[in-house]
A and B are shown apart, each in its own frame.
Chain A
Amino acid sequence: MKNWIKPIIVATVASLALGGCTSVKYGDAGSVETTTVDFGSTDLQGIASKMVDSLLTFPPMVDVTSKRRPVMFVDRIKNKTTEHIDTESITDTISTKLLRSGKFRFVDMTKVQAVKKQMDYQQDSGLVDPTKTMGFGKQIGAEYMLYGNMSSIVKRDGGTKDVYYKFTLKLMHLESGILEWQDEKEIRKTKSKSLFGK
């Protein structure tokens, strides 16, 4: 056998053997994820948890929500970082937790067109029993608006990358324009390249 054939056979067998080790398994969605320094699921969960806990225990909001369930709507979170971050996913988690706490109610502004289309159908198509149609002009207006910013500072030095995220969430009373509540969540992540690491 020629000398150069042997290493090729060994490499082929080794790659086939390694390929056979591939496996798929389910993981814990709530576990801490540190694959990269980029924004990840643990950051999203940490932000949502901090913001919801802060809003629900802020004394003036405790006063308001102990008597009634105010209606709010979620405006966008401005992503001022250099990364692509799905900020709607963060606000979805926050609104889910707030809604399930039983202390707030929400109106969904992303579905206004779909709602109007359905109401028009009920009123104008002639197919729906007039005594069972949903009437116009009976929706409840939102009292509060939830909105915020997401920013980051990224620094690199040799093999070290340091990322600092700051998430700010604000709650505005629509009628008065007053900011009723605001809070921040800071996250710092550092990645160092070791001598033998990736």
Chain B
Amino acid sequence: MRIWKMNIYVKLFAVCLFSVAVAACATSGVVGKSDPASGKSEIVEIQNKSLAKKVSIKDFKSRVINDLLNVQVEIQNNFNSTQEFQYKFSWFDTTGFAVESGGDSWKTLILHGQESKTVQGLAPNPTATKFKIVLRKL
């Protein structure tokens, strides 16, 4: 009986350890969206609250250049220590379908203490009218 109880404790500990490990590996971060037609830019989703405390999106800007949606996002490191992030843009057409999905790769962004940097993205073709940026910390 005692051995059985001990086994339960060991299993519970393993489950807790696993869930902590999974939480630590969570990579999704802040999702922002912009629609240049309406001029609206907003953070639509914060998937990782601890990341959202470390980094904030100060400003969104978007324009159309050569029929292609060009966006600029200003990202601020809220901490005094250097933080390393990755970001990726995704593009969508007017109906919400992903444009050239899988075409964009993750890019590394290093922000020193309290530093803010701008990152830019250019839509892969003129059908893209909306964008999404996802930040993650590995």
Q: Does B46 contact A (CB under 8 A)?
A: no
Chain B nearest CB from A69 CB (Å) reads: 12
Q: Which residues of A contact B125 (CB under 8 A)?
A: 100-102
Given contacts A101-B125, A102-B126, contact A42 B105 (CB under 8 A): yes
Chain B nearest CB from A129 CB (Å) reads: 37
Query: Residue among B68, B102, B121 with the most chain A CB within 10 A?
Result: B68
Chain B nearest CB from A9 CB (Å) reads: 27
Find out whether the CB atom of B88 lies under 8 angstroms from the CB atom of A100.
no
Q: Does B36 contact A (CB under 8 A)?
A: no
Find out whether the CB atom of B67 lies under 8 angstroms from the CB atom of A66.
yes
Q: Which residue of B lies closest to A103 (CB)?
A: B66
A46 to B108, CA, bound (A): 10
A166 to B10, CA, bound (A): 54
Find out whether the CB atom of A30 lies under 8 angstroms from the CB atom of B124.
no
Total number of B residues with any Cβ neighbor in A under 8 Å: 22
Q: Does A45 contact B (CB under 8 A)?
A: yes
Total number of A residues with any Cβ neighbor in B under 8 Å: 22
Q: Which residues of B contact A28 (CB under 8 A)?
A: 106
Given contacts A97-B124, A100-B124, A101-B125, contact A56 B68 (CB under 8 A): yes
Interface pairs (8), CB distance under 8 Å = A32-B107, A53-B120, A57-B65, A57-B68, A62-B65, A97-B103, A100-B100, A101-B68
4 nearest A-B pairs in the assembled complex, by CB-CB distance: A30-B105, A45-B105, A53-B122, A62-B66
Tell me the A residues contacting B by CB distance below 8 Å: 28-32, 42, 45-46, 49, 52-53, 56-57, 61-62, 65-66, 97, 100-103
Tell me the B residues contacting A by CB distance below 8 Å: 65-68, 70, 86, 88, 100, 102-108, 120-122, 124-126, 138
